[in-house]
Amino acid sequence: MVERKKMVQPPARGDRPRRDYSVFLRAKQKSALSCGIKPKTLVASAEMRDFQRDIVRWALRMGRAAVFAGTGLGKTIMALSWAGTLVRERGVRALILTPLAVAQQFKREGRKFGVDVQVCAGQTDVTRGINVTNYEKLHKFDLSEFGAVVLDESSILKSYDGKTRTHIIQACARVPYRLACTATPSPNDFMELGNHAEFVGAASYTDMLSTFFTHDGGDTSKWRLRGHAENEFWRWVSTWAVMFQHPRDLGYSGVDDFNLPELRERYHVVKTPAVNGAGTFLADVAVDLRGRIAARRASVGERVRAAVDLTPKAGEPFVWWCSLNAESAALAAAIDGAVELSGSDSENVKIKKLNDFASGRVRVLVTKPSICGHGLNWQHCHMTGFVGLTDSFEQVYQAVRRFWRFGQKHPVDVQYVTADSEGAVLANIRRKHEDGEKMRAGMLRNMVSLNSAHLRETDLAFSSPVSVPPILPVWL
């Protein structure tokens, strides 16, 4: 007789261990890794506003974080407080990397807030406290000697070639405490966000792309957020970065003094007739980038003459922004007392000219956005102009923000001088500005509520960066 095996009945549905589906969803979420400290007090606490103190505490708890704050919201004092608190409580050396000439600005700001800052040209100048130097001098430092590093105006990383950018990120990867500070990043430049994610250790750039993005058609250099991943992407960014344009974005009240003055933009299009084959005078309008560059070179004289007429003859300081060396040299020669700051100047000469302008010893400065468009606080000046425009909205935005920033007491006047032969250069800048503002508003909408919640958390327990093993619910 064959003995039949007894069938084991599966447990009834009600007898199975229950697991809330929200637990499964939380396990799938991507978060940054918290590895910082909980300070009792902050360096320069009395000098900061409530929102600045909360951001510094959050960044210290995180250990590695990014602060994307609008111009004039106090990134300098927040960076000094963050670094100074780590120096005091962990006994580490701190290094702040800045654009050219901003190192001296950090020293001046530190003196104002009672924080000692040492400007260094190399490793031999380093002290036990806060040290500051230019990005260009990074190769002169041994980062294994530092426990904390700050990237000031960290969006400048995208201005460097890939080798330099990679060197900065990799050199800082060995430093336990890291902070990146910049204005709100370009909303359509995910490489910038990827650089920051890699710097803070939240994910590598390639991991970020493979997790949240897809190729845009056949062009492998263009990426776009996957539709279903957009909310999750910004939630992930909010775990390692705080982003805001105004303290009100994060729910802070009593911040009415953080209001921008009026921005008055005026456009001047000069006529540049060209002789055609028939011997008559007609304006040859550029239709592409190569044509605009040629038109720009051919119209230097007309645009410089218009710019000279727009320059105040005395009194108020003024900055002219150029795109060509010929524009810069011609303007400096034509304006009485103007000083040209060019790329061929030595570093010491550049620093001297910038300090002379900041202190009022130079009234009219002529330079390029690629040289002085990042990091400098020029609220003492409220008049500027562009005698040469490229198609880069980012350069225009950053250059204008040297003056039009919180702390500016006067309306800011901006003059744009272009030639009719340059075609759609102004239209391109305006379109990029409108598109950028729409995307930036969407980015802030996705992040500010998340940031506001994170800033007020007392205990953060984050999971690992991007790769999280899936946990299946019982019913699967």
> Are 185 and 214 members of one domain?
yes
- The domain that holds 55 is classified in CATH as 3.40.50.10810
12 domain-assigned: no
Q: How many domains does the chain have?
A: 2
Residues contacting 449, CB < 8 A, separation 6+: none
> Are 246 and 161 members of one domain?
yes
Burial of 437 per CB tally in 10 Å (0-12, 13-18, 19+) = exposed
Which residue ranges in the chain fall short of pLDDT 70? 1-34, 159-161, 186-188, 216-222, 273-289, 439, 456-476
Nearest-CA neighbor of 271 among 286, 283, 285, 281?
A: 283
476 domain-assigned: no
Three-state SS at 81 = helix
> Are 267 and 218 members of one domain?
no
> Are 114 and 207 members of one domain?
yes
Output the pLDDT for position 12. 53
For residues 109-132, one letter each, b for 16 or more C-beta atoms within 10 angstroms of the residue's C-beta and e for the rest, the string is bbeebebebbbbeeeeebeebbbb
> Where in 6-146 does DSSP place strands (E)?
64-69, 94-98, 117-119, 130-134
Alpha carbons 33 and 29: distance in angstroms, whole number: 13
Alpha carbons 407 and 236: distance in angstroms, whole number: 32
Residue with tokens 């044509």: 291
Query: And the tokens for 412?
Result: 């800011």
> Are 400 and 331 members of one domain?
yes
The DSSP symbol for 123 reads: G
Structure confidence by residue, pLDDT tens digits, 137-163: 999 999 999 999 999 988 877 766 677
* Phi and psi angles of residue 102, each rounded to the nearest 5 degrees, phi first: -75, -20
Q: Which helix (H) or strand (E) holds 386?
A: strand 383-386
Structure confidence by residue, pLDDT tens digits, 16-62: 445 555 544 454 444 455 578 999 899 999 999 999 999 999 999 99
Burial of 415 per CB tally in 10 Å (0-12, 13-18, 19+) = buried
Amino acid at 455: L
Structure confidence by residue, pLDDT tens digits, 396-421: 888 999 999 988 999 999 999 988 88
Domain limits for position 33: 26-255+442-455
Alpha carbons 103 and 120: distance in angstroms, whole number: 9
Output the pLDDT for position 282. 42
> Are 273 and 240 members of one domain?
no
> Are 34 and 170 members of one domain?
yes
353 domain-assigned: yes
> Are 271 and 122 members of one domain?
no
**Residue 179: strand pairing partners:** 65, 150
Alpha carbons 307 and 387: distance in angstroms, whole number: 6
Residues contacting 257, CB < 8 A, separation 6+: none
> Are 300 and 232 members of one domain?
no
238 domain-assigned: yes
Nearest-CA neighbor of 372 among 331, 409, 413, 322?
A: 322
**Residue 117: strand pairing partners:** 130
Residues contacting 122, CB < 8 A, separation 6+: 137, 140, 141
**Residue 474: strand pairing partners:** none
Task: List Cα–Cα distances, 205 to 56, 67, 199, 240, 476, in angstroms.
Answer: 25, 18, 10, 14, 33
Residue 466 and residue 203 in contact, taking contact as beta carbons nearer than 8 Å: yes
Alpha carbons 130 and 93: distance in angstroms, whole number: 6
Amino acid at 420: D
> Are 216 and 81 members of one domain?
yes
**Number of C-beta neighbours around residue 147 at 10 A:** 18
What is the value of pTM for the model shown? 0.80
Alpha carbons 150 and 161: distance in angstroms, whole number: 20
> Are 88 and 236 members of one domain?
yes
Residue 392 and residue 370 in contact, taking contact as beta carbons nearer than 8 Å: no
Alpha carbons 360 and 323: distance in angstroms, whole number: 24
429 domain-assigned: no
- The domain that holds 347 is classified in CATH as 3.40.50.300
For residues 177-202, one letter each, b for 16 or more C-beta atoms within 10 angstroms of the residue's C-beta and e for the rest, the string is bbbbbbbbbbbeebbbbbbbbbbbbb
Query: And the tokens for 140?
Result: 């002169």
303 domain-assigned: yes
85 domain-assigned: yes
The DSSP symbol for 317 reads: -
209 domain-assigned: yes
Output the pLDDT for position 227. 76
**Residue 95: strand pairing partners:** 131, 149
> Are 68 and 211 members of one domain?
yes
The C-alpha torsion from 389 through 393 and 394 to 399, rounded to 10°, is 50
Output the pLDDT for position 448. 77
